């Protein structure tokens, strides 16, 4: 895999070469959540399909922001 992304064959990866390798490796990571969000299975994510997960993420972030850090009071 390394050699196939070392475009100039110098034994190292430039930022551009690494970016291409990273995109290839992480593509499959996005496949599962995409499939889960695509409620109607049309291969497209609509605003409606994204609305609920986005709201849940915002609520979780807000909730975690209100949790007390040891030695402090909630909200600090």
Please list the pLDDT of the chain residue by residue as tens digits (76 residues): 778 889 899 999 999 999 999 998 888 888 888 998 999 999 999 999 989 888 888 888 888 887 655 555 555 4
Six token digits for residue 40 = 């109607």
Please indicate, yes or no, if residue 72 is contained in any of the structural domains: no
User: Alpha-carbon distance 65 to 74, whole Å?
Assistant: 8
Q: Give residue 73's Cα distance to chain centre.
A: 31
> If residue 56 lies in a helix (H) or strand (E), which one and from where to where?
helix 47-66
Region of residue 11 (left: phi > 0; alpha: psi -120 to 50; beta: else): left
Domain membership of residue 38 as a residue range = 2-65
The count of domains in the chain is 1
Tell if the pTM clears 0.75, that is, is over it: no
Specify if 33 maps to a domain.
yes
In a domain, 6, yes or no: yes
Report the pLDDT value the prediction gives residue 70, as an integer from 0 to 100: 58
- Quick one: the chain helix, strand, coil %, rounded to 5? 60, 0, 40
């Amino acid at each position: 895999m390394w050699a196939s992304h070392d475009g100039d064959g110098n034994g190292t990866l430039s930022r551009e070469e690494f970016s291409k390798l990273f995109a290839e490796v992480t593509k499959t990571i996005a496949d599962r959540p995409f499939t889960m969000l695509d409620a109607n299975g049309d291969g497209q994510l609509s605003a409606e399909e994204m609305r609920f997960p986005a709201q849940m993420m915002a609520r979780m972030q807000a909730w975690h922001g209100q949790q007390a850090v040891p030695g402090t009071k909630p909200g600090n």
